[in-house]
Chain A
Amino acid sequence: MNGDARHTWANWVPGRGAARKAEALAAGAVQGRSLWQDAWGRLRCNRAALASLWVLGVITLAAIVVPWVWPYGYAQPDWNLMYAAPTWAGWHIFGTDALGRDLFVRVMWGCRISLMVGVVATLVTLVIGVTWGAVAGFAGGWVDSLMMRIVDILYSLPFIPFVIVLMVLFGRDLFLIFVAIGAVSWLDIARIVRGQTLSLRKREFVEAALASGVGNAAIVRRHIVPNLIGIVVVYVTLTIPSVILFEAFLSFLGLGVQAPLTSLGGLVSDGAAVLQSHPYMLIIPASFLAVIVYCFNFIGDGLRDALDPKDR
């Protein structure tokens, strides 16, 4: 332990890691790295993205932990304490709402629901959209035509009535909301991915891979998908916030999550109604919504830059 005295805070120099890496390279100890390793290294150097990752991590953790440990539940009214402004008394640090429910725990639940809706719906979108688009683009020919016609048809379906019908038929189920949102927003990404794949497929490096004997699956995995990532990541970071906002819109229409459960969107719309008298009811959930949306945007930017080797 004492033997390794070199690594103390006293002699720590910033940038030492990089210097050591350069040394290793110069010494001929070269080792192949991949795009992903490089990307992670670059992402770590992006302050905004890193800070956003932290903030988002903290919010997520809080959204998971707080509802367990907090003395109040999200549906627990206190008829003596309606519209209480934020106070330390009784730990109502964000105040209470019209029914005297603790706003802090409701905001945490809201974050939980909104993040879940955003992430799960986006995952659904991604999996369906990227697969659909990449297969159509790579296969080409009639397969491509057929798959894209299906997309066109789905596009022309009016969405809000579709969601209403779903809700009426199956009730207001959280899972259903994910599915409904995901099932609709994959159309855009399928189109984008297909267009990109089509042009990638004709690129000379794909031909070079074919000439090297690389199989179709490996070409999609090693050449097509990594080259799609830039655009997909940007799209995802735009989709998550827009899905969160969309869910807020559904809540506003009364089609969102079932009361008394709530989401950030639902809280914002509740707050907007009493903006004049109780501004904190709007400001607090709206700030959380804004921070989450910004974090995703910064992370998206960071990821795109990190995954683009040309960007220095």
Chain B
Amino acid sequence: MSEPALLEVRALDVHFSVRGPGLLPSRLTLRAVDQVSFDVRAGEVLGVVGESGCGKSTLSRALLKLIPATGGSVRLRGVELTTLPKAAMRPLRRSMQMIFQDPLASLDPRMTVGEIIAEPMKALLPAMGRVEREQRVLRTMQQVGLLPAQINRYPHEFSGGQAQRIGIARALVVEPQLVICDEPVSALDVSIKSQIINLLLDLRAEHGLTYIFVAHDLATVRHIADRVMVLYLGRVMEITDRDALYARPLHPYTRLLLSAVPIPDPALARRRRVAPAREELPSPLALPSGCAFRTRCPLADARCVAERPVLREIDGRYVACHHAEAAAA
């Protein structure tokens, strides 16, 4: 592990100022991403999971500077991004691209497939000629399983799975190193989901890509990720290698998530019958003191109320819980 990380994120904060309730609203701070630190190594797939609203999309967008970070640092191969001016950021975008959740909404309805895929090249490789650009579009289309004849079609003429292939082609056409996938398969059909996951895995093998793969579905993440980061209300709960996480989750929240994943096997599903989570997600505007998870945690005690657990290392895994050792036992 001597090789430096491709992306280093340290104590990243993204806070939104939102209107409070009432007639004379005060401004409240919504901590969508709160003190998040992690590394992404070159060539790996980092899965990011958590419930809806826990800041997965906000984190993805902040890494790409689509939303300004309110604090902390993001370094891409040692270059600090958070303070980088817009013009200097542009060339770096070639190495970081994004795939979006809603395949159709992320494609301009008035552009043809060819124009959509060519757009990042126009922006990032202005020196490239028209002919070369077009050839590269066609090549990329073939790589993601689109037919060259479809180059003049409009997005609405495609099914969700094909539209997502267009989105993938657009991300890959500038040959990035890091691709941030924000729930790329959540909106897709069961039978199409697996096609896209396999495609992402193939492309990674072919081009040596690094992914940050965001999902709310732990079963999918297990399939694609090498390491998994679990977020809860904007905070990191656990970062662990895939096999260790699924074999023996240390954090009580990870265990809650895992136990809630439905299993497509009636005998097992009925035998399992877990007690569902106690409470619902607290409002992100009024986070609990101490550990954010304590309102739903079966192990919570006085220390969890008083003291916010820091992310610490246990057997090569990172966990933010006071009682992780007890949980593991």
Q: Do B66 and A210 touch across chains, with their CB atoms under 8 A apart?
A: yes
Q: Do A204 and B100 touch across chains, with their CB atoms under 8 A apart?
A: yes
Other-chain contact of B107, A25, A205, A210 (Cβ < 8 Å)? A205
Give the contact stretch, choosing among B46-54, B110-118, B212-220, B227-235: B110-118
Q: Do A30 and B94 touch across chains, with their CB atoms under 8 A apart?
A: no
Q: Do A226 and B110 touch across chains, with their CB atoms under 8 A apart?
A: yes
Residue interface bits A248-265, CB-to-B below 8 A is 1, else 0: 000000000000000000
Q: Separation in Å of the B43 CB from the closest CB of chain A?
A: 22
Residues of A near B64 (CB, < 8 A) are: 211
B window 74-96: CB within 8 A of A: 90, 93-94
- Is A214 in the interface zone, CB < 8 Å from B? yes
- Is A277 in the interface zone, CB < 8 Å from B? no
Other-chain contact of B115, A32, A204, A215 (Cβ < 8 Å)? A32
Q: Do A207 and B106 touch across chains, with their CB atoms under 8 A apart?
A: yes
Residues of A near B223 (CB, < 8 A) are: none
Q: Do A32 and B152 touch across chains, with their CB atoms under 8 A apart?
A: yes
Q: Separation in Å of the A229 CB from the closest CB of chain B?
A: 8
Chain B: which residue is nearest A229 at the CB level? B110
- Is A222 in the interface zone, CB < 8 Å from B? yes
Other-chain contact of A32, B106, B109, B110, B137 (Cβ < 8 Å)? B137
By the criterion of a CB under 8 Å from any partner CB, how many residues of chain A are at the interface? 32
Q: Separation in Å of the B117 CB from the closest CB of chain A?
A: 9
Q: Do A227 and B106 touch across chains, with their CB atoms under 8 A apart?
A: no
Q: Separation in Å of the B325 CB from the closest CB of chain A?
A: 41
Q: Separation in Å of the B218 CB from the closest CB of chain A?
A: 25
Measured in the bound complex, the distance between the Cα atoms of B38 and A41 in whole Å is 52
- Is A209 in the interface zone, CB < 8 Å from B? yes
Residue interface bits A200-244, CB-to-B below 8 A is 1, else 0: 000111011111111100100011001101000000000000000
Q: Do A205 and B66 touch across chains, with their CB atoms under 8 A apart?
A: no
Q: List 9 A-B contacts (CB under 8 A).
A: A204-B105, A207-B66, A208-B170, A209-B108, A212-B120, A212-B124, A212-B174, A222-B108, A309-B154
Having A205-B107, A212-B119, A213-B124, one finds 15 other A-B pairs with CB under 8 Å, namely: A30-B152, A32-B114, A32-B152, A33-B112, A33-B152, A35-B110, A35-B115, A204-B105, A207-B106, A208-B170, A213-B90, A309-B109, A309-B110, A309-B156, A310-B154
